[in-house]
Amino acid sequence: MTEQSAKFTLGSDSSDMAVMSGTIGPDVVDVTSLYKNTGLFTFDPGFSSTASCESKITYIDGDEGILLHRGYSIDELAEKGDYLETCYLLLYGELPTAREKQDFVYRVTRHTMVHEQMNRFFTGFRRDAHPMAVMVGCVGALSAFYHDSTDIADPHQRMVASLRMIAKMPTIAAMAYKYHIGQPFVYPRNDLAYAENFLHMCFAVPCEPYRINPVLAKAMDRIFTLHADHEQNASTSTVRLAGSSGANPFACIAAGIACLWGPAHGGANEAALNMLMEIGTKDRIPEFIGRAKDKNDPFRLMGFGHRVYKNYDPRAKIMQQTCHEVLDELGIKDDPLLEVAMELERIALTDPYFVEKKLYPNVDFYSGITLKALGFPTTMFTVLFAVARTVGWIAQWKEMIEDPKQRIGRPRQLYTGAPQRGYLPVDERS
Ligand code: SDX
């Protein structure tokens, strides 16, 4: 990593700071010693200009609309690879050989069952509980079952915990869905591929055989790949911060699920579909575009905009193609939601407000239409995002734990509250 230096000067004081270059992307100014040398903090509440860590996993170029996982473009991984191969790449840093892939798939497949006692967790929830609430609870509880993979200092246990998370998330997600709709749980099957197994656990019923549709299974697998990892987004940063205290990986992933739930983040796919359903018809689009521009209206076009992408989200393009493939396979013609979505996109991409603010559709814009067509209720959309993102969270967590420079994350603040003042007895307060 090449180094230059930057000089910070304030009045008569100055401090030299190293400027570090990565492989690609912006250089960074190392401000680690700024407070020690100057008594000053940096101030960046949304972390728009802050690199929180060094990482080798994912690179995003927001201006060019590029997303790379270990150097491979999301377009190639989504088109030519599959989700478990992408999981291996994110975890180990290289694409697997045929032998390595076969072994990895074998190991993940044989971790897909959950402890039978986990079934009892679900009965404690109301049937109408949001599946994301169930996921936060059940995934956090995994650490109560798998004590043999919570010692984060042991590389073997870290890898076992990683495999368990990747393998068991679909099973827990499917159980959350089945509980939500009052149907019996369906056990995973070792003869099915990852996405096939997930669709089977969600949609099979004991009364009749469930036929896997290969086109829909491929679409599901590709959706998982598109959502696998995305640099230091809010939920990944949550997992890293939780992990920096030494918390066990299951608890860290539960924290990531909780953060992903927000409508500004992973909850946007559910919110985007609800917005399309609220708009209903193309003639109502101008009303909602006007609301999105109105500073006094908190409404935002869900599925549009991104902190990093100031060009088209490369995942959104692939998501749109996948959406058309699924609708075609299911014979869904002229889906009114898709018509509204495509018209909304066309208008937004020509409207000066959105053009100036560089607000393009993101990965969540078309995913909702696709997931609804696959048969999932909107309340399951963010759960599917969490299933897919688990490998990204766990890969980033592992990288942080294995970084010899790793310390507990502990940001400071700009304090604007009351200066010290004396306590007044209650009868002297006015
Ligand atoms: C994901 O970080 C990641 O990588 C996340 C993710 C991942 O894979 O992990 O990519 C997944 O979370 C995608 C984003 C999903 N969220 C949504 O679709 C919700 C709608 N989008 C917005 O809430 C917003 O665009 C964010 C949260 C995505 C980004 O917010 P920023 O970067 O903080 O941008 P901002 O809120 O400062 O907005 C900049 C301007 C503002 O106007 P001004 O104050 O400058 O006048 O753009 C406006 C905003 O009002 N704006 C929007 C808008 N998004 C931003 N106006 C209308 N509709 C929108 N969607």
Per residue in 247-268, pLDDT (tens digit) is 999 999 999 999 999 999 999 9
Mean pLDDT, range 51-58, rounded to an integer: 97
Question: Is 127 within the bounds of a domain?
Answer: yes
Closest CA to 279 of 327, 336, 320: 336
Question: Is 425 within the bounds of a domain?
Answer: no
Same-domain status, 256 and 287: yes
pLDDT at residue 334 in the model:
83
Instruction: Look up the CATH number of the domain holding residue 187.
Output: 1.10.580.10
pLDDT in tens, 104-156: 999 999 999 999 999 999 999 999 999 999 999 999 999 888 887 788 889 99
221 lines ligand 1 (CB under 6 A): no
Same-domain status, 84 and 33: no
Task: Supply 48's token pair.
Answer: 């728009």
DSSP codes joined into one string, 12-77: TEEEEEEEE--SSS--EE--TTHHHHHS-----TT-TT------SSEEEETTTTEEEETTEEHHHH
Q: Choose one of 270, 275, 306, 396 to mutate for the ligand 1 pocket test, by most ligand atoms within 8 angstroms of C-beta.
A: 306
Whole-number Å distance between alpha carbons of 24 and 31: 20
Confidence of residue 274 (pLDDT cuts 50, 70, 90): very high
Question: Is 359 within the bounds of a domain?
Answer: yes
Atom of ligand 1 nearest to the CA of 231: 4
Same-domain status, 146 and 179: yes
If residue 148 lies in a helix (H) or strand (E), which one and from where to where?
Answer: none
Question: Is 427 within the bounds of a domain?
Answer: no
Question: Is 416 within the bounds of a domain?
Answer: no
Same-domain status, 89 and 28: no
268 lines ligand 1 (CB under 6 A): yes
Closest CA to 239 of 262, 131, 404, 248: 248
306 lines ligand 1 (CB under 6 A): yes
pLDDT at residue 150 in the model:
82
| Number of domains the chain is built from | 2
Same-domain status, 188 and 307: yes
Confidence of residue 277 (pLDDT cuts 50, 70, 90): very high
Instruction: Determine the structural domain holding residue 361 and report its residue range.
Output: 73-404
pLDDT at residue 151 in the model:
85
pLDDT at residue 2 in the model:
58
Q: Choose one of 44, 310, 359 to mutate for the ligand 1 pocket test, by most ligand atoms within 8 angstroms of C-beta.
A: 359
pTM: 0.95
Same-domain status, 91 and 201: yes
314 lines ligand 1 (CB under 6 A): no
Nearest CA to ligand 1 atom 36: 307
Mean pLDDT of the chain: 95
**Residue 364 a catalytic site member:** yes
Same-domain status, 179 and 274: yes
From the list 306, 324, 328, 351, the catalytic residue is: 306
Question: Is 167 within the bounds of a domain?
Answer: yes
Nearest CA to ligand 1 atom 3: 233
pLDDT at residue 189 in the model:
98
Same-domain status, 250 and 380: yes
306 C-alpha vs ligand 1 centroid, how far in Å?
5
Task: Supply 282's token pair.
Answer: 């193309």
Same-domain status, 337 and 197: yes
Question: Is 158 within the bounds of a domain?
Answer: yes
Question: Is 78 within the bounds of a domain?
Answer: yes
Confidence of residue 385 (pLDDT cuts 50, 70, 90): very high
pLDDT in tens, 68-80: 999 999 999 999 9
Same-domain status, 25 and 108: no
Same-domain status, 186 and 89: yes
Mean pLDDT, range 42-53, rounded to an integer: 96
Nearest CA to ligand 1 atom 42: 357
**Residue 180 a catalytic site member:** no
24 lines ligand 1 (CB under 6 A): no
Is the pLDDT at 9 greater than 70, yes or no?
Answer: yes
**Do residues 84 and 102 make contact, with C-beta atoms less than 8 angstroms apart?**
no
pLDDT in tens, 201-232: 999 999 999 999 999 999 999 999 999 999 99
Same-domain status, 25 and 153: no
pLDDT at residue 268 in the model:
93
Q: What is the DSSP letter of 118?
A: G
**Do residues 311 and 62 make contact, with C-beta atoms less than 8 angstroms apart?**
yes
